[in-house]
Structure 1
C-alpha cells in the first residue's frame, strides 16, 4: 500500500483515507492505495471530506484563538504568547506549523494526482481539485500570517514559509525546502484561488453545503483577505466585490439570530446565509471527547478583557449579546461540548475589506461609507443607530480607514483577526509584544532536521 508521507517537521506523517465527515454525508471507505482511492468519485469525495476535517485541526483551535488572545480581545494563561517570548524548542507550539502542512499534503494528493488515476467525469474532477486548491490556499494564508517575517507589513522579500506543492512520497532528505519569500507565498495562494474560482459553484443548493464547502464566493473572499494582507488594494476591492455579487449572502437581522445560545449542546447548528465559509463541527458527530473545534471559550479559559468590552458604545449589541445567563461569555462559542461551528469567512468581513480597500485607493468615498454604515447599523437593532456616517465625518482617507478598522475589531472579535489586523496597521497587537516578535518562531526541529536549510525567524 502506498503511504502518504510528508516531511516538513520532525514527525514522519502517515496520511491515509480517513472516515468521512457528515458535512458531505458520505460513508467511510477505509484505507486504500492511491490509485484505487482516486479512481472513483465517491472515494475521492471521501478523501476530500477527510481533508476538510484535517483543515479543522489546522485552522481552528489554538491557531484560531491566537489572533484574539494576543491582541487585547481575550485573556490567556500563556503569557509567552502575549509577550512573544516563545522558545522555538518548545513543542507545545509545533502543531501551529505541522497541522496546516498535513492538510496541505492531502490537498497536494488531489491536486497533483487526481487526473492521473480518476475514471469519472472530468468536470467532477475539476470541482474536487478546485476545492483542494481553496483549502491549500487557506492553510498557506494561516501559515504566512503567523510565520511570515513582515508578511503583513509589505516586506515581500522577507522569509515566508516553505512552499510544498506536490504530494510527498517518503523522505531521503532531497525534498527539503527552504522558506519561500512572502511574495512567493502570496503569489501561490492567489494562483490557487484564481485557478479554483472558475470550477467552483456559486451555489451548492442548501445552506449546509453552501457554507461548509468551497464556492466562488468563498474563494473570492479569501483572495480579498490575502490581497488585503499583501496591501494590494486594487485587487482586494475587486475580489471582495466579486464575493458579494449575485445577492447570494445576506446579513442576519441581529446578533441573537446570528449567534443562538448553544449552551444546551443539543443538535446540529445551522449555518446562516451570512456565512461564506465555516467548519461545520456540530455536524461532525463523534463519540470521542477530544473531537471538537478546540476553541474553549465556553469554559471560560479565555475570557473577554474588560478594556475591550468597554470600548463598545452603549447599546452596541455585539457587547450586549455576550451576556448569557447572567455571565459574560463569548456568544459565538457556547457549546459545552466545544462543537460549535467555526466561522472562517463572514459577509461583514468581506464588506469591511471592500470598504477599506476602496478607501485606500479612492480616498473618502460613498461606497466605503455605505458598507461601514451597514455593518455598524446591524449592531443597533434595538436602540437605534447612534450615528449614520457621511463624507463630512472623515476629513482624510486615513480617518475613514481608521474607523473601518475599528469596526472590524468590534465585528470580528473572537474570530481570530485582531492580531493580524493590528500588525498590518503597524500597531503592536498588545503593549508587551515587541515588533521583532510579530512573526512566530519556526519550531527548532524544522531547522535541525533540514540541517539549517530552513532558517529561523529573525528575533529568535
Structure 2
C-alpha cells in the first residue's frame, strides 16, 4: 500500500481515505491538460532522495576526528548509510528513495490509466503518454540499481522489483526477477520512443525527447556491457543542437559568506546561488534529474580531492569549497564541502552532455580504442580546465583508468554508487573499488565514540535492504534481500 502514496491530484491520507476518495478523484480527471500538468509538476520528478549516493561511497569521508568534535552535524539515520548498516535501514521509519520513486511510478501509471479516456489535443496526448513511460522506466532503473543485484547474466533469476503498471492498490507486491525488471524497463523505453520530439525542450528539459532517450540508453548499455550500442546511442545524443557543455571558465563568482571566531570567508561560484528557477534549466541536461541532499553537505574524501589537478581543474576550484564545514558550524577540523546548486542541496544526476561523452569514452576504451576514447574525454576537459591539458593513453588499460578517473571527477557522489556496483561484476578486475570506513561503532540508536570499528562494503550490501515498514505493509509479499 505504501508503494502508492502520492500527493497532488490523489493525495492519500491513509487507506480509508483512499478507498473513499479514489473513485471521485479519478472521475475528476477529464482533460489531457490535467495529465500534462502532472508531468510538468517538475519537483515531483526531478529530485532523487538518494542518501546512499551521498554517504555510502568512497567519494564521502567522515573522519573520526570530524565526528567526535561535531556529532551534532550528523544524523544517526545518515550514519547508517555511511557504515553500510542493514539493520539500521530495515528498522528506519521510512525509506525516502523507495517511496519517492514509487510515487513517480504511481503518477506515471495514473497518467497511462487515463490518457486514452480524456479529451484534448492528440499530439499533446501522445507526448504526455511518452513522458509517462519514460518517467516509469527511469524510476525503475534507479530502484533496480539500489535494491537489486548488479546487472549480470548470472544474476538474472535473482530478485528484482515489484512490477507496478496499474493504479490498482490491491495489485501484487511480489518481486519479479531481475530479468523481468530490466525487460519492463526496456518495454517502457520502447513506448517512450514513440515521442515526436527529437531534441531537448530548453523550456522544459524534464520532458522526454529522442535525444534524452539516447542519452539514457548510452548509460543503460554501458551498464549492461553492450559497448557498441552505448557508443551508438551516445553519438545519437551528441547530435543535439540544444543541450551543450558549459565552459567552466565562464562561471562568475557567487555570494561570499564570512564567518567569525575564527574569521574565514567562503567563496562560492554563481551555481551555488542557483535555485530551481535556474538549475532546472542547466544547459547540459538531456533530462532533468538531481540527487537531493537535505543535509546540504556532500563531504568529499581525501582521495576524491586528490584526484583533481588542483591548480587547473575548475571543478575543484569552483565546486570543492575549503573550510566549507563552517556552513554547518564546523570549525575543527577544517573540512571541504562539495556544492553544485542551491547551496549544496542538488547535484545533477540526469543524463548530461558531460556524462554521454564519458559513457562513449569508457565504451571505446573497453573496446581497446584508446585514442578515440581520449578524444571524447578531451572534449569535456576543454570546458573544465583553466589551462587545458589533454589526456593521452598508452594502451587499453591506461585508457580505461584515465576515463574512469575523469568520470569520478566529473560526477562525484551522483554516479559513484552505480559504478562501484557495475565494476564489481564486469570482466576488468583493475576497476574494482574497495570501500572501507575507519570509524566508531554505530548502532540503530547511537554512536559509541569510545569503540573504534572498521567497516567494509561487501557485495551483499551492494543491495540496499528493503525497509521493514514496506515489508510489513506488504503482508508477506515483499521478500527481503539475503544478508
| Corresponding residue of 1:276 | 286
Cα deviation code 1:56-94 (max 9, x no counterpart)? 4xx423x1x422421122346433213322215323452
Secondary structure of the residue aligned to 1:33 is helix
The structure where strand makes up a greater share of residues is 2
Equivalence for 2:316: 319
Quote the residue 2:384 is aligned against.
379
Counterpart of 1:345? 351
| Equivalent residue runs for 1:26-37 within 5 Å | 33-37=25-29
Matches within 5 A, 1:249-260: 249-254=243-248, 257=251, 260=269
Q: Do residues 42 (structure 1) and 23 (structure 2) align?
A: no
Shift in CA distance, 16/34, structure 1 to aligned 2, threshold 3 Å: farther
Residue 343 of structure 2 aligns with which residue?
335
47, 56, 62: which one pairs with 1:70?
56
* Corresponding residue to 1:196 among 174, 192, 196: 192
Aligned residues: 403
Q: After TM superposition, give the deviation of residue 108 of structure 1 in Å.
A: 0.8
User: d(CA) in 2 for partners of 1:277 and 1:143?
Assistant: 18
User: Is the CA contact (8 Å cut-off) linking 1:83 and 1:434 kept in structure 2?
Assistant: no
Give a deviation string over 1:367-422, Cα, whole Å, max 9, x none: 32210121233322x2231x442xxx332x333222211111011114x1111112
**Structure 2 CA distance, aligned partners of 1:233 and 1:325?**
38
1:350 positional shift: 0.8
Check whether the contact 1:152–1:420 (CA below 8 A) recurs between aligned residues: no
Q: How far did 1:312 drift?
A: 1.2
Is 1:226 the counterpart of 2:216 in the alignment?
no
CA distance in 2, matches of 1:408, 1:455: 35
Question: Which is greater in Rg?
Answer: 2
Please, what is the CA RMSD of the aligned residues? 3.0
1:202/1:216 contact within 8 Å kept: yes
Instruction: Tell me: CA distance 1:106–1:455, structure 2 relative to 1, closer, same or farther (3 Å).
Output: same
Give the drift of 1:325: 8.7
Partner of 1:425: 423
- Deviation at residue 158 of structure 1 after TM alignment: 1.6
Decide whether the 8 Å contact of 2:200 with 2:208 is kept in 1. no
Question: Among residues 40, 55, 60, which one is paired with 2:48 in the alignment?
Answer: 60
Determine whether 1:111 maps to 2:106: no
1:261 alignment counterpart? 270
SS in 2 for 1:350: helix
Q: Structure 1, residues 266-320: CA drift from partner, whole Å, max 9, x if none?
A: 783252432212259xxxxxxxxxxxx842464xx33222231012124222111
Q: 5 Å matches for 1:1-400? A: 7=1, 9=3, 13=5, 16-17=8-9, 33-37=25-29, 39-50=30-41, 52-56=42-46, 59-61=47-49, 63=50, 65-75=51-61, 77=74, 78-87=78-87, 88-115=89-116, 117-151=117-151, 155-168=155-168, 170-171=169-170, 175-203=171-199, 207-209=202-204, 211-254=205-248, 257=251, 260-263=269-272, 268-269=277-278, 271-279=281-289, 294-296=292-294, 298=296, 301-314=297-310, 315-322=312-319, 327=324, 328-335=336-343, 338=345, 342-360=348-366, 362-380=367-385, 382-385=386-389, 387-389=390-392, 393-395=393-395, 397-400=396-399
Q: Distance in 1 between matches of 2:271 and 2:284?
A: 18
Tell me by how many angstroms 1:424 deviates.
0.8
Change (3 A) 1:66 1:255: farther
User: Partner residue of 1:27?
Assistant: none
| Contact 1:255-1:321 at 8 Å conserved across structures | no
1:132-178 deviation line (CA, Å, top 9, x unaligned)? 1111111101100110123378622221211111122x43xxx2232
Instruction: Assess if the C-alpha contact under 8 Å between 1:68 and 1:418 holds in 2.
Output: no
Flag the 1:265–1:407 CA change in 2: closer, same or farther, 3 A: closer
Q: Distance in 1 between matches of 2:79 and 2:166?
A: 37
Write out per-residue CA displacement over residues 217-251 of structure 1, whole angstroms, 9 at most, x where no aligned residue: 21221222222222232322222222112433221
Q: Which runs of 5+ in 1 are unaligned?
A: 1-6, 20-30, 281-292
Inter-CA distance 256–80: structure 2 relative to 1 (3 Å threshold):
farther
Tell me, in whole angstroms, the C-alpha distance in 2 between the residues paired with 1:156 and 1:267.
Answer: 39
SS of 2:478 mapped into structure 1: coil
How far apart in 2 are the matches of 1:352 and 1:131? 26
On the 8 A contact 1:428/1:435 being kept in 2, the answer is no
